[in-house]
Structure 1
Amino acid sequence: MKSTSTTRMLLASGMMVGVALAISPSAHAVDAAAAEKLARQEGCLRCHGIDRAKDGPSYKELAAKHKTKPDAEAKLIKHLSGGVKVKFEDGHEEDHKVPKTKDADQIKNLVQWILSQ
């Protein structure tokens, strides 16, 4: 009997650890100060506000739209790096500005910061 209850307890503990890992933040913590500095240097904050829309959606809006999707990070990295077209309210389109930095870790940190808003 002890063996069965011990096994059940271990299984339950293992499941709780698995759930905790699944819902815990990424092992790589976001460097918010570096991300915001990069956003300012690259001119991102001219079109995007952190919590209010400008010519582009706010980072809070982007986070709310994307952060629950499993491919959110990859999608936003592609958007930032790919120079895709963006459409404005008046109907005109422009190429989305691509960050000058080619440091993938900086761009990933920026995207993770956006998704954390």
Structure 2
Amino acid sequence: MADAEALAKAKGCNACHAMNAKQVGPAYKDVAKKYAGKADAVDYLADKIKNGGVGVWGSIPMPRQNVTDEEAKKLAEWVLSLK
């Protein structure tokens, strides 16, 4: 999963997210905990990464990200693997 972590850095995810601490957005590990065990978690998070959203973690919106469907899925799987 090191390639997914490198992808997160390359795509600028770390400008708003950190591994263990809330920044502009939630910590990666908090996202993993929230969606652990949910059957559709990968698809749900991949959609949020690609298309953005607001309201799940507060009022600050997450903008659409410039990623492919494959990259969004890889990032979602990586985030969900963090514990």
TM-score (norm 1): 0.60
- When the two structures are aligned, how many residues end up with a matched partner? 82
Question: Equivalent of 2:25, from 43, 48, 56?
Answer: 56
Q: Deviations over 1:14-53 (max 9, x none)?
A: xxxxxxxxxxxxxxxxxx2111111111111111111221
Q: CA deviation at 1:85?
A: 3.0
Whichever structure has more strand as a proportion of its residues is 1
Structure 1: distance between partners of 2:23 and 2:7: 18
Distance 1:33 1:49, change over 3 A: same
Preserved CA contact (<8 Å) 1:55 1:88: no
Unaligned runs of 5+ in 2: none
Larger Rg: 1
Structure 2: distance between partners of 1:100 and 1:49: 19
Unaligned runs of 5+ in 1: 1-31
Among all aligned residue pairs of Structure 1 and Structure 2, give the percentage whose two residues are the same amino acid. Answer: 30
Query: Is 1:40–2:3 an aligned residue pair?
Result: no
Whichever structure has more helix as a proportion of its residues is 1
Structure 2: distance between partners of 1:52 and 1:83: 20
Say what the alpha-carbon RMSD is for the aligned residues.
2.0
State the structure with bigger RCO (CA 8 A, min sep 6), 1 or 2: 2
